[in-house]
Amino acid sequence: MCITIRKAIPQDIAAIQKVASISWHETYDGLIPETIQDKFLDNAYSDVSMQRRVEQTILFVAEVNEEIMGFANAFTNENHAELGAIYLYKDMHGKGVGTKLLTAILKEIKTCSELYVEVEKGNTVGESFYTARGFTVVKEYEDVLYGHPLQTKQMVLTL
């Protein structure tokens, strides 16, 4: 399997939106009500929001056989960065795609000293992925997403 990681372009938006929708529903089934997920996805992955991400943030896609199978998105702020997302189709889990996306992000943020990520408590796949790559839990807190309470873990990787 040949995995290609590259910067996202505007023509990738529909494929990224599809990955986000499918992977969000798989990841948060039983953790976040589907109506809340849909509301979040409609807002965070709207065409306007995605255009802004492509132009103003660090956004990579993972292609397998020229088909987008995952993406990673990060934002920088002075000397630290925040990983907003790494999402893949479920059949890509365990095949190195997420690791390659994370590596691309790390290369892009080389002037930063820390990379933060937030993981929903109960997202065992996400938490295991980040822990295996050296992230540690900094704090746990309650957040609210469209009126739904979330138990969030903030993790950090010191670079």
Q: Which amino acid is at 154?
A: Q
Q: Which amino acid is at 8?
A: A
Domain boundaries, the chain: 3-158
The secondary structure of residue 115, as a DSSP letter, is E
CATH architecture of 3-158: 3-Layer(aba) Sandwich (3.40)
How many residues comprise the chain?
159
Q: What is the pLDDT along the chain (159 residues), one digit of tens a residue?
A: 899 999 999 999 999 999 999 999 999 999 999 999 999 999 999 999 999 999 999 999 999 999 999 999 999 987 889 999 999 999 999 999 999 999 999 999 989 999 999 999 999 999 999 999 999 999 999 999 999 999 999 999 999
The three-point CA angle 134-121-118 to 5° equals: 55
Collapsed DSSP state (helix, strand, coil) of residue 135: coil
Strand pairing class (114-120; 80-88): parallel
